Amino acid sequence: MKLVAFVSDYRMPVDTLDRLKPEKLGIILVQNGVYHATTKENGNPSSLLNYSADYFVLQEDLETRGYTSSDVDSKVKVISLGDVVDLIFNDYEKTAWL
Amino acid sequence: MKLVAFVSDYRMPVDTLDRLKPEKLGIILVQNGVYHATTKENGNPSSLLNYSADYFVLQEDLETRGYTSSDVDSKVKVISLGDVVDLIFNDYEKTAWL
Amino acid sequence: MATTKLGFVVQRPPYKSENPKLALTHAISSQSVEIYLEDGDLVTADIAFVGDGVLNCKKDQKAMEHYGLSSTESHIKMSLLLDLNVLVCKEDLERFGMTENDIVIDAEEFGADVEVKVVPYDEIAKMMEEMNHLLFF
Amino acid sequence: MATTKLGFVVQRPPYKSENPKLALTHAISSQSVEIYLEDGDLVTADIAFVGDGVLNCKKDQKAMEHYGLSSTESHIKMSLLLDLNVLVCKEDLERFGMTENDIVIDAEEFGADVEVKVVPYDEIAKMMEEMNHLLFF
Amino acid sequence: MGKLTIGCFASLIGSMNLDFAVKLSGAALEKGHKVDLWVSGNATMLSIEKQREFKDYSSLEKPLKELMEKGLKVTACEACAEARGYHKENTMEGFQRFSMDWYLASIFDADRVLHIGGE
Amino acid sequence: MGKLTIGCFASLIGSMNLDFAVKLSGAALEKGHKVDLWVSGNATMLSIEKQREFKDYSSLEKPLKELMEKGLKVTACEACAEARGYHKENTMEGFQRFSMDWYLASIFDADRVLHIGGE
């Protein structure tokens, strides 16, 4: 299956991403999920960026928290809400809000 | 200071307990905090039980989740809500709900 | 005449969040959805407990006695009574040192025919593949 | 004539929970508490950001532009305007690779005299000792 | 163009999940999709009329009404609302109230579903 | 005997933090202590009258009224309530509404404070 997962927390209370093995995985960082794209701890990027997945981050949630595109890890593409809609309809079949 | 901390989650979203170093520390496990007293993972007790503290667990929250006193780690004392009130007033000065 | 298959995946422990209970009550509502649909159309609900979610299945929950609240256990039994497919991840149970003896397996007292199935995660993954949509709780 | 000293400890990042904002608005309300007290009695509020809580202090938050919502940043500035003692844990800032340049330090534009103090955790621990009560957010 | 059904369980104010759900509904409508929004649990708070607007709190009555005019269908779980003391009398005009099977029926012919769990 | 001030920010239904706060208030009153309960944020939901009782949802109107008769003082943050559409007209009898400084004033002469953060 083609699955797009939404990550909205910085400290994930669930480990479901470790289990999901879809043939195609997208991860959209929204709300406090954006810190995974912007914030290193002791110099290390978030381990959430280690999955074999396409990564996206919602621009307005990034800016709400004081960050800009230039703060974002190079693995992660900055997108708009309209892009989120297109990803859901055109690139993936199922969604998971974790 | 004498501080009593309430732990109500199984997956802690904050690491404040690692920082607090009161002269006397009590930890009361309530709500989903009770799993720290009852549940081993891969045979290991919860690392939350490693602090140098007096541990308590609320009996009714234990039973609500399907456990009894006999499931509780020997470090942890099973108490009632009345006992919680006495601990707050008689044994500690400050509280922290984490 | 179409069927839409939904997978309800419960990842969180009970009570500290309303989500696990709402997962079960929403899944149970698949039994009455026909009033909105045309003849022969169906919505089915499969339920899987994974990760800390397996803690919802613990037997002997006393939520009614202590909080006047129906337990997650009673909702699992209701799901069985309505013939829903309820899966529990075997590896996660084992991680917590739990066996089939520790969890709700049947609802014989209500006359339920089906039982909770403890299965390897691979079977849950297969179920998720087969569903039309997934709902994570 | 008595003073009760409260320590507000913010441990969570902003927005995903209302708590950090409520910490600041409740701390700010210490400025108007006298209407309930006798002459000379006081309640003071010190605020400390620790752990992921230091992310509340990031500069240039655009919550108003995107969500029509006052930012946590603006509430920190309001706290400074009201002369509250605002501490930020130095070690946690460093863990995130952040410096004083990344966070709100002053509210000069509103005429605030005091500044946010980036301090080692030991000083926050000392503050917590000195308080009569602690409120964790 | 397709149909998106969004479910949300979070409070009006707090996690900002409902802000996200409402904004995403708007973006999908903008692109010509049909959108159903189901609110259950604490999210039934969205259905109450006369929320007072303050800059310190999420306020969604106005944007929601605009989206309803553009075709957004929004429904609250009746039991979840009643348990919280939210009754028909103080429900926003145009906001439907049904039992949980409405959500599943909406999903029946949806092309995509986004179920926003968490609180 | 002392005075305990409890603050709580969580919804009526969900985390069960309010169930805990109300039960703890009862246990403290039982032991002869004075108890003030402050609800802010989503916990202002506790103040609404006519919550319908279902076995599937926490329901605190009845136990709360019993504790108020035993001397529990309970106050909701007015702005937090208004922002959610909870107005004076549908507030439970005896439930006070004040601004946040009421909480701090209650703490002023409290012997112990339990501030229940989290949602």
One digit per residue, the tens of pLDDT, for chain C of length 137 reads 899 999 999 999 999 999 999 999 999 999 999 999 999 999 999 999 999 999 999 999 999 999 999 999 999 999 999 999 999 999 999 999 999 999 999 999 999 999 999 999 999 999 999 999 999 99
Are the C-beta atoms of residues D91 and D125 closer than 8 Å to each other?
no
Tokens of C76: 């699992």
Q: Which of A8, A39, A40 sits opposite D16 (nearest CB)?
A: A8
Q: What is the pLDDT of residues E32-52, one digit of tens each?
A: 999 999 999 999 999 999 999
CA-derived radius of gyration, chain C: 15
Q: At residue D124, does pLDDT exceed 90?
A: yes
Residue of D nearest to A9 (CA): D16
**66-95 of A, contacting E, C-beta below 8 A:** 80-82, 84-86, 88-89, 94-95
Nearest 5°: CA angle at C41, between C39 and C43? 140
Instruction: Average the pLDDT over D28-46 and give the result.
Output: 97
- The residues, any chain, with a CB within 8 Å of residue D101's CB and separated by 6 or more, are none
| pLDDT-derived band at D1, boundaries 50, 70, 90 | confident
Tokens of E20: 């996200």
Q: pLDDT value at position E118?
A: 78
Q: Which DSSP category does B20 fall into?
A: -
> In Å, how far is D66's CA from the nearest CA of chain F?
19
Neighboring chain A residues of D67 at a CB cutoff of 8 Å? 60, 64
- The residues, any chain, with a CB within 8 Å of residue E70's CB and separated by 6 or more, are E26, E29
Neighboring chain E residues of D25 at a CB cutoff of 8 Å? 56
Nearest 5°: CA angle at E109, between E105 and E114? 80
Q: What is the pLDDT of residues A31-89, one digit of tens each?
A: 999 999 999 999 999 999 999 999 999 999 999 999 999 999 999 999 999 999 999 99
Instruction: Average the pLDDT over D128-135 and give the result.
Output: 98
Burial of C73 (0-12, 13-18, 19+ CB in 10 A): buried
Chains sharing 3 or more CB pairs under 8 A with chain A: B, C, D, E
CA distances from F62 to E78, F18, F36, F52, F65 (A): 21, 14, 18, 11, 5
Residue of F nearest to B98 (CA): F117
Q: Of 3.40.50.720, 3.20.20.70, 3.40.50.10190, 3.40.1260.10, which CATH number belongs to C3-136?
A: 3.40.1260.10
User: Chain C contact for A14, CB < 8 A?
Assistant: yes
Give the mean pLDDT per block of 10 residues along chain F (119 residues): 97 96 98 98 96 93 97 98 95 97 98 92
Are the C-beta atoms of residues B49 and B21 closer than 8 Å to each other?
no
Q: What is the pLDDT of residues B39-68, one digit of tens each?
A: 999 999 999 999 999 999 999 999 999 999
Domain ranges of chain E: 3-48+58-117
Mutant choice from C10, C135, C137 vs E, greatest count of E C-beta within 10 A? C135
Q: Inspect the interface and report whether the beta carbons of A95 and E112 lie closer than 8 Å.
A: yes
Q: pLDDT value at position F118?
A: 78
Are the C-beta atoms of residues D56 and D76 closer than 8 Å to each other?
yes
Q: pLDDT value at position D55?
A: 98
Q: What is the pLDDT of residues D80-117, one digit of tens each?
A: 999 999 999 999 999 999 999 999 999 999 999 999 99
pTM of the predicted structure, to 2 decimals: 0.97
> In Å, how far is B75's CA from the nearest CA of chain A?
26
Q: Inspect the interface and report whether the beta carbons of C134 and A96 lie closer than 8 Å.
A: yes
Return the CATH number of the domain spanning residue range B2-97.
3.40.1260.10
Q: pLDDT value at position B74?
A: 98
Q: pLDDT value at position A28?
A: 98
Are the C-beta atoms of residues E39 and E77 closer than 8 Å to each other?
yes
Host H or E run for residue E45:
none
Q: At residue E119, does pLDDT exceed 80?
A: no
Dist. CA D115–CA E58, nearest whole Å: 29
Q: pLDDT value at position F119?
A: 75
Tell me if residue B98 falls in helix, strand or coil.
coil
Are the C-beta atoms of residues A95 and A6 closer than 8 Å to each other?
yes
Q: Inspect the interface and report whether the beta carbons of F115 and D22 lie closer than 8 Å.
A: no
Residues A41-50 as b/e (b if ≥16 CB within 10 A, e otherwise) read eeeebbebbe
> In Å, how far is B5's CA from the nearest CA of chain C?
18
Instruction: Average the pLDDT over E59-88 and give the result.
Output: 97
Instruction: Average the pLDDT over E1-9 and give the result.
Output: 97
Are the C-beta atoms of residues F107 and D4 closer than 8 Å to each other?
yes
ipTM associated with this complex? 0.96
Neighboring chain A residues of D71 at a CB cutoff of 8 Å? 64
Number of Cα atoms under 13 Å in the Cβ half of residue B32: 22
Q: At residue B80, does pLDDT exceed 90?
A: yes
- How many C-beta atoms surround the C-beta of residue B96 within 10 A? 25
Nearest to C9 by CA among C56, C57, C55, C49: C49
Q: State the alpha helices, DSSP H only, in chain D.
A: 19-28, 63-67, 72-81, 90-95, 121-130
Dist. CA C80–CA C111, nearest whole Å: 9
Neighboring chain E residues of A84 at a CB cutoff of 8 Å? 24, 27
Domain ranges of chain A: 2-97
Q: Looking at the domain E3-48+58-117, which fold is it?
A: Hypothetical Protein Ychn; Chain: A, (3.40.1260)
User: Chain C contact for E114, CB < 8 A?
Assistant: no
How does the average pLDDT of chain D come out, rounded? 97
Q: pLDDT value at position C42?
A: 97
Q: At residue A9, does pLDDT exceed 90?
A: yes
> In Å, how far is C125's CA from the nearest CA of chain A?
7
Q: Which of F41, F105, F115 sits opposite D36 (nearest CB)?
A: F105
Neighboring chain D residues of B20 at a CB cutoff of 8 Å? 125, 128
Nearest to A36 by CA among F22, C8, B86, D52: D52
Q: What is the pLDDT of residues B13-32, one digit of tens each?
A: 999 999 999 999 999 999 99
Dist. CA C27–CA C31, nearest whole Å: 8
Neighboring chain D residues of F108 at a CB cutoff of 8 Å? 2, 4, 33, 36-37, 41, 43
Nearest 5°: CA angle at B14, between A7 and B79? 125
| pLDDT-derived band at D34, boundaries 50, 70, 90 | very high
How does the average pLDDT of chain E come out, rounded? 96
Chains sharing 3 or more CB pairs under 8 A with chain D: A, B, E, F
